């Protein structure tokens, strides 16, 4: 119980007073018993609540506490809830606030769906979209499909299509259900070499063998995969040296091996049962243009950084994204990135999201930052002038120094110049932000 005297008088709004009642035994008329786990043990915890507050925020709680079959016990157990997620659901019902992170967002989304709080569902899906990347897309996609969050599902498939290799190499891919694996391998829009896709699928099958406690061999892996998934791999589009890697797996029948040898010796147009059509996803070599001689940690700055720089190229290119400097590892920054054509001041491409800082290689050194890839790559015309603007919400970060005015990378010359922006925070052709430009040839 609160020990404050006259606590109402120092909280002038109903929102502040209701927020004060979160998990407070004062006036509490129901106790929710839930599990709480740590790395070593699991225990039961109690959250003190107020039926009225819960019921005005959720029709499910209204039915639970005030319906025809109303719950009359003072203490109720919620076995499908964990302490952290339920506390955040209650925080939202009491204050319209929620503290989400990677460990609780799925639990909060589950509870928001279960207790019919659509505004919290929206906040959860927004959080997941902002933090979506190849490393977690196969964790998020099954939940998005389960809860029928179409926009989030679509965003997941865009990440899988555009960053296929990174996605299928993630730890989560090795644990997906076979139905989702099938949806991936039959997809025509993947951006990955077929041999790399096969290796990821083979690893998935190996993990399944180990899960069953069975000896790993090609015959068993093929049976676990099933013919529909196995024959969705487009072996005929592999180079001969890539196919040689597959041969070592022992997954083909003798008849199939003969057919493939005939195919690779050009005596057969296509092996029966396997597609020889390349996937339509653009599998291109992406180059990185670095513009600084060295990188280092910057001086402390405020929580909001606005930087801009002007550049042009002497050949048509496709810009896939940029690398930006960030802070210490695991810190996530909110980024608003815009590329515009200076001649008509029109937006070419943009990206907004939250990105975790990682250690990235730079020449013979390294820096902490993140790669921001656009949802749709931008086609840039030679000799046109473009300006990149970035708003970064985060504290002290790394910076580049000794910038080049021109950089020749893979036959493309990048030319950098200063922006006319009055608030570029020191970013110019010589220093600060935008260490690397990620591009391919149009």
Tell me what pLDDT residue 3 has. Answer: 66
Cα separation, 214 vs 230, whole angstroms: 20
Instruction: Give residue-wise pLDDT tens across range 174-230.
Output: 999 999 999 999 999 999 999 999 999 999 999 999 999 989 999 999 999 999 999
Cα–Cα–Cα angle for 54, 56, 61, rounded to 5 degrees: 45
The string of pLDDT tens digits covering residues 56-105 is: 999 999 999 999 988 888 899 999 999 999 999 999 999 999 999 999 99
Q: What is the pLDDT of residue 295?
A: 87
More reliable by pLDDT, 98 or 375: 98
Question: pLDDT tens, 2-58?
Answer: 568 899 999 999 999 999 999 999 999 999 999 988 767 888 999 999 999 999 999
- Candidate from 53-57, 159-163, 247-251, 423-427 with smallest mean pLDDT: 423-427
pLDDT at 423 over 70: no
Q: What percent of the chain has pLDDT over 90?
A: 61
Provide the H-helix boundaries in 149-253. 150-162, 164-168, 178-185, 194-212, 218-225, 227-230, 240-247
Mean pLDDT of all residues in 139-145: 96
How far apart (Å, rounded) are the C-alpha atoms in residues 282 and 285? 10
- Record: fold of 7-116: Potassium Channel Kv1.1; Chain A (3.30.710)
Q: How many CB atoms lie within 10 A of CB 255?
A: 9
Q: Does 287-441 match 7-116 at the fold level?
A: no
* Strand pairing report for 386-393 and 42-49: unpaired
* Token duo for residue 84: 């952290």
Assess contact for 108 and 124: CB atoms under 8 A.
yes
Distance of CA 409 to the CA centre of its chain: 29
The answer to whether residue 266 scores a pLDDT higher than 70 is yes
Residue 330 has pLDDT above 80, yes or no: no
Give the mean pLDDT of the chain. 90
Q: Which residues are registered as beta bridge partners of 399?
A: 296
CATH label, 287-441, candidates 3.90.1150.30, 3.20.20.80, 3.40.366.30, 2.60.120.820: 2.60.120.820
Cα angle value 132/133/137 (rounded, 5°): 75
Torsion sign (Cα): 183, 186, 192, 197: positive
pLDDT at 260 over 70: yes
Residue 303, Cβ density class (10 Å: 0-12 exposed, 13-18 middle, ≥19 buried): exposed
Cα–Cα distance between 270 and 266 in angstroms, integer?
Answer: 9
**Nearest CA among 32, 22, 157, 41 for reference residue 91:** 22
Count the neighbouring beta carbons within 10 Å of the beta carbon of residue 407: 17
Q: Is the pLDDT of residue 1 over 50?
A: no
pLDDT digits (tens, 9 = 90+) for 383-402: 999 999 999 887 778 888 99
The rounded percent of the chain whose pLDDT value lies above 70 is 95
Q: Using CA atoms, how far apart are residues 58 and 429, in angstroms rounded to an integer?
A: 54
Reference 145, options 173, 102, 109, 187; nearest CA is: 109
**Given this model, what pLDDT does residue 404 score?**
92
Q: What is the pLDDT of residue 398?
A: 87
Q: Where are the domains of the chain?
A: 7-116, 137-264, 287-441
What pTM value is reported for the model?
0.64
pLDDT category at 359 given cuts 50, 70, 90 is confident
The distance from CA 326 to its chain's CA centroid, rounded to whole angstroms, is: 17
Q: What is the dihedral of CA 173, 178, 183, 189, to 10 degrees?
A: 40
In this prediction, residues 325-343 reach a mean pLDDT of 85
């Amino acid at each position: 119980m609160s020990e404050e005297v006259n606590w109402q008088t120092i909280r002038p709004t109903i929102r502040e007073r209701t927020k004060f009642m979160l998990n407070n035994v004062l006036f509490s008329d129901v106790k929710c018993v839930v599990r709480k786990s740590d790395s070593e043990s699991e225990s039961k915890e109690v959250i003190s609540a107020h039926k009225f507050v819960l019921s005005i925020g959720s029709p499910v709680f209204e039915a639970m506490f005030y319906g025809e079959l109303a719950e009359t016990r003072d203490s109720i157990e919620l076995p499908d809830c964990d302490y952290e997620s339920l506390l955040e659901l209650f925080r939202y019902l009491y204050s319209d606030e929620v503290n989400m992170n990677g460990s609780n967002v799925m639990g909060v989304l589950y509870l928001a769906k279960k207790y019919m709080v659509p505004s919290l569902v929206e906040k959860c899906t927004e959080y997941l979209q902002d933090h979506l990347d190849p490393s977690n897309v196969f964790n998020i996609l099954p939940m998005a499909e389960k809860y029928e969050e179409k926009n989030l599902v679509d965003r997941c498939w865009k990440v899988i299509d555009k960053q296929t290799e990174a996605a299928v190499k993630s730890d989560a891919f090795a644990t997906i259900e076979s139905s989702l694996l099938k949806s991936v391998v039959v997809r025509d829009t993947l951006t990955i070499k077929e041999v790399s896709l096969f290796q990821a699928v083979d690893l998935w099958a190996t993990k399944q063998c180990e899960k069953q406690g069975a000896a790993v061999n090609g015959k068993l892996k093929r049976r676990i995969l099933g013919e529909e998934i196995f024959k969705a791999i487009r072996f005929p589009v592999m180079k001969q040296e890539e196919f040689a890697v597959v041969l070592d797996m022992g997954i083909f029948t003798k008849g199939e091996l003969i057919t493939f040898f005939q195919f690779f010796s050009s005596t057969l147009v296509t092996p029966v049962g396997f597609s020889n059509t390349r996937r339509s996803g653009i599998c291109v070599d992406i180059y990185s243009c670095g513009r600084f001689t060295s990188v280092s940690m910057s001086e402390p700055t405020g929580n909001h950084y606005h930087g801009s720089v002007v550049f042009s190229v002497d050949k048509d290119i496709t810009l896939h994204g940029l690398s930006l400097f960030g802070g210490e590892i695991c810190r996530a920054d909110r980024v608003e990135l815009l590329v515009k054509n200076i001649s008509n001041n029109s937006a070419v491409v943009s990206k907004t999201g939250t990105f975790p800082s990682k250690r990235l290689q730079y020449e013979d050194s390294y820096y902490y930052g993140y790669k921001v890839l656009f949802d749709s790559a931008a086609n840039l015309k030679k000799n046109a002038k473009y300006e990149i603007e970035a708003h970064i919400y985060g504290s002290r970060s790394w910076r580049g120094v000794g910038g080049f005015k021109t950089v020749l990378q893979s036959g493309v010359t990048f030319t950098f110049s200063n922006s006319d922006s009055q608030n570029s925070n020191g970013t110019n052709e010589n220093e600060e932000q935008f260490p690397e430009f990620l591009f391919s040839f149009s």
